Every structure is written in C-alpha cells, then in structure tokens.
Chain A
C-alpha cells in the first residue's frame, strides 16, 4: 500500500508458512499515523494468535495525536497493561494451571524526522541506510544472552537446545521491560519490522538487497519470495517502511 499523505510509505504482509497449522503473527500498518507493528504470538491452541491480535488491535486504537514522546508513552502504557492482562488476569483451569499466552512485539513510531522503536522478544527492526544494513533491535532471547554474557559465537550459541527461548515477551513475566531506541531518520531510509520466521532464513545480504529495491511493495515481495522459497517452518510477517 503506497500512501502519499505522509512522507512515509509502507507495505505489510503475513504468511502462515509451509508447516504451521495456524498463523500466530499479527501486524499493523498505519502509515498515516506513523505506526507499524509486528507481533509474534506464543501459546497452545489459539492462545498465541489471540495474544498477538490483542496487541496490534489495542495499539491500533491508541490516539494518533501528540508528539513522539507522548505517543511512545501511550504505546508503553498499553503494552504494560496487556502484559498484566495476559500474565495475571487469565482464568485458568485445574487441568491447565499455567497456560502460556504471550507475544513478542516490535513497534515503530515516526514523527517527521524522528522515530522510535519499542520492542520485547525476538521480532526485529532493521534499518537500511545508504547501502548499509543495521539491526536496531537486540533480541531478547537465550541465544542473544549466551552471546552477550558467555561470549559465545552466534554459531555456538545457536547450538544450545533452548536457543530460541525468549527472555522477554508481553505476558511472560510480572514486570515487562521494554527496550526503546529513538533515532533521527533521513530521506531514503528504509526500515523493516519482521518476525523471526522471516529473518531466520535470510542472510543480511539478502535482506539488504530486498530493502534496496525501488518501492516498499517490491521489497516486501522479494522478502517473501525468498523466505517462502526456503523451508518456511514458522509463520512469517514483515512491514517495510520508507521515508
């Protein structure tokens, strides 16, 4: 979808992949409001899909007005509330006293030249600027923790049996800690929000080449063509945003 009202154009898509029975990802694509989100739900049965849907639909209802700081505050407030809702307010049964229901989230907010990225979990935000790819978000996952704390190489860390376990997610613990990165943007900057199902099978070079294409729609198409050409074991979602 190309929108000319705001300086930001974007395109978004989700796909169930080739193996999973349902899609637990959800996305939000609101270029007029300068708000984009990818959420990757987790939990048995429908729980994951409900969690990610609850996140994007609640974020979609937030008021669009106000400066970046105010809007970031609202997004944080909303995510903290949903963390409480999914973690502490659920009715449980004796058969399943500890249901898993949660979701990663990565959100991008823009306001003229400024932007803010907010995230929890391993869904990512990338920036493609002047021919270079930057990963702006840092995964909240065991594999990232092993790399940071035990100085393991990414290859060594990935061999850990629980490498993909998340260390943070909405609904996962009593207190949600969100990471926030604010930065200046420049014309031509291209951002990508995506779930792990998309980035796992793509090299940084492939990501960069796709994001370098002339339109957000073409970039998105290339990303999905490449990812769906592989095993696509997980659901995959992406939002491509360009100034």
Chain B
C-alpha cells in the first residue's frame, strides 16, 4: 500500500518519521544480519528491549492495547511496573506512514493534562521489528461498553450524571486546547478505580492552527470511524470537527441513559434515510431540563447541531428546576 495516510503542508512535517525510519534500519542490519526482518504483524514478546507483553486488553479495529511489564522499572524494584501499550494492528502497520499516525496520536494526547483524560508516558519504536508503540497509564475498571452490556436498561440519573459530567469535562477541555477526539464511543471511556478516563485519540486531529508542524490524517485518503457513533458529515467525507465529537458523545449519553442507541444502532446515514430523528424521545432516566441540549447535539445536520461540549456540560450541571419554576414556566409559556 503506497498511498500515504498523511497530507503534509510542508515536507518538514514528516521529518521526525523519516528520522525514525533511518535510525532503525542500521542496528537491525548489524545486530542480526542473518535474520530477516520481522514482519510488522508479528509482535515480539518484548518490545523496545523493555516492555514484556503480557495480556491483550483491547482490540479497536486499527490497533490493539496490551498490558505490558516494564522490565526497567521492575529492575529498580517498582512494585507495580505495568503500563498499557498500544500498537497499530497489522493492517495499519503496513502503511508507510503508520508510525507517524501513531506519533500524531501521542503528540495530541500528550499535551492534554486532565484528570479525566488518559495519561501517556512515551512514544517509542522497536528497532528490530520496526514497530512504533505508545506507553500509557494502565487503568483498571470497566469500559462504558461493558457497563452497557451489564445494564441493558440504562443508568439512573445519579449514576448517569457521575459519568456524563466528567466525560463532558474531558471533551470540553480537549476542545478548548484545540484537540478533537475523532472516535468517541463507549469502549473508549473507562471507569477507572480513581475516576473516569477518556482515551484513544487515534483518529484525533488538532484544530486548524494548533500544532502546525504535526502530520495530519488526510481523511480524503484515509477515512475511519465507528459506524454507530460517526456524525453524518464524517460518513459523507467531511473533515473532523468539534461538532462530530459532540454528535458521537450525545449518542453515548443517550445510550447510557436509556440503555439503547438513539437510532436503533444504525449509522447516521441509515437513520437519516429512515427519519428516525423524528421519533426520538427523551429517555425516562434523563431529567427534562437536559433533553433540549441532548436533542440538539443529536441533530444529523451539522448546521443544526448548535451546541458544543461546554454547552452540553452546562445543561447537565444545571440543577433540575424546582416545582415552582416549572409551574411558572408552564403559566408563562
């Protein structure tokens, strides 16, 4: 596959990647001249001479995340020498720019510092197998897709708000720094022991003007999404915007509150063709004052999705209006 994944405004955008590729060639040739280079698909037991792969934690379609034991930290007596380690799966590791794609994820996420966004440790390349990988904090706890499969009826308001508010805080924070996520879905949110974490910015993008030197995914050459959570405009080839993240997160919030995907698990394209937005009802567990905001965030038409993550967060943080206010509103309306 020769099509580059990345469109670069300047040739210098790919400097880092070119350096990484040339730097890894020599030691392989010298150290093991008789051994053919490992195909990118074969993950060695120890990556980068330091991380022993122990267990597969998740498969995302483009990459896989493993629990790894950090042998260096172990040598210094660290009682918990574990990290999560992300690599691209074989299909994507074959792309010439795959390492740059993973680096872009690292660069984007590494500049985020928020208690509800996953913490990254490092970006490295295993020289022997020519595979790039990211190490990040190892989290323990269920992901939201696991929670949803255990709670098919959705969550009561209290539990719901304890998830939705930190999740919206994480997204509003990312957007405020010009970082778009690009692939929000239940399996990319974990309820860790010490609080919620949003992770996997693998399809993330910086907003225009942010991180100008970073290679960017070119969606006209390489488009990826999760069908049930992708905004209509993404499916139609439009570039990623904050509004697409808002649509995806609104689908997740709706699903958490009702137990069901807002559009019968269909893609936005299919759901729009069937006009499913017309029958959309407020989930019973969702307070009435949150519904107009969530309803707006679920609009298929990007122009009518007139709310951002901060606006959604405001709606969910607002206390429910008291009885008197509701009566007044009814009388006035």
Report A's interface with B, CB cutoff 8 A.
44-47, 50-51, 53-54, 57, 77, 80-81, 84-86, 88-94, 96-97, 99, 101, 174
Contact = CB atoms under 8 A, between A and B. Distances in A.
B12 interface: no
B41 A88 contact: no
B228 interface: yes
Contacts of A91: 60-62, 183, 202-203, 224-226
B222 interface: yes
A92 B187 contact: no
B56 A89 contact: no
A88 B56 contact: no
B226 A89 contact: yes
5 contacts: A50-B64, A77-B149, A80-B149, A88-B145, A88-B265
Contact of B222 (A47, A54, A57, A93): A93
Given A45-B90, A174-B265, A50 B222 contact: no
Contacts of B203: 91
B150 interface: yes
Given A90-B61, A94-B224, A46 B89 contact: yes
Contacts of B227: 92, 97
A81 B145 contact: yes
B98 to A, nearest CB: 13
B55 A57 contact: yes
A81 B64 CA distance: 17
B176 interface: no
Contacts of B86: none
Contacts of B228: 88
Given A45-B89, A92-B61, A97-B227, 7 more contacts: A46-B64, A47-B59, A51-B59, A92-B227, A93-B222, A93-B223, A94-B223
A191 to B, nearest CB: 26
Nearest to A176: B149
Contacts of A51: 59
Given A45-B90, A54-B59, A89 B186 contact: yes
A91 B60 CA distance: 6
B91 interface: yes
B61 A99 contact: yes
Interface string B222-252: 1111111000000000000000000000000
B297 interface: no
Interface in B124-155: 145-146, 148-150
Given A45-B89, A50-B56, A85-B59, A92 B149 contact: no
B69 interface: no
B150 A77 contact: yes
Given A45-B91, A89-B186, A91-B202, A81 B265 contact: no
Contacts of B116: none
Interface string B29-72: 00000000000010000000000000110111110100000000
B148 A84 contact: yes
Question: Considering the complex of A and B, which 6 residue pairs feature the smallest CB-CB distances, nearest first?
Answer: A90-B61, A91-B61, A89-B187, A94-B223, A81-B149, A93-B224
B61 A50 contact: no
Nearest to A51: B59
Contacts of A89: 60, 145, 185-187, 226
Contacts of A50: 56, 59, 64, 89
Nearest to B200: A91
Contacts of B202: 91
Nearest to B148: A84
